[in-house]
Amino acid sequence: MDEPLPSQQAESHAGNSPSGCTADKQEDSALVGKTEQQAVALLTGCVWRIGERDGKHFAGTMDYLEARRTLGITAGKVAWVRRG
């Protein structure tokens, strides 16, 4: 049986980096304008998820986590970042 392809849903990523969240050393606005791949690399060790990609909204939990970043992606680049 063939494996299903991964869907492009909202993803929550809890990092296991021993150095913690490297993106905490800069403002969240520094992610805006970066490619999705660049942002993912910067978010190593952080809690984050994709909330929207090219106008398609993804389901997310309503719990508030101050450290979690939710990203909006447009045309492969980070358009916005929200905390919580």
Residue-level pLDDT at 22: 85
* CATH for 64: 3.30.10
- pLDDT at 1 (0 to 100): 46
Q: What is the pTM of this model?
A: 0.75
Structural domains of the chain, count? 1
The pLDDT tens digits of the residues spanning 18-27 come to 458 989 999 9
- pLDDT at res. 19: 56
Is 61 part of a structural domain of the chain? Answer: yes
Task: Write the pLDDT tens digit of every residue in 14-66.
Answer: 444 445 898 999 999 999 999 999 999 999 999 999 999 999 999 999 999 99
User: Token digits for 19?
Assistant: 């150095």
Domain that holds residue 58: 22-83
Going by their DSSP bridges, the two strands 69-74 and 48-53 should be labelled as parallel
* Beta strands at 56-57 and 77-83: parallel, antiparallel or unpaired: unpaired
In a domain, 66, yes or no: yes
Give the closest residue to 73 by CA, choosing from 55, 46, 58, 48.
55
Alpha carbon distance 35, 76 (integer Å): 6
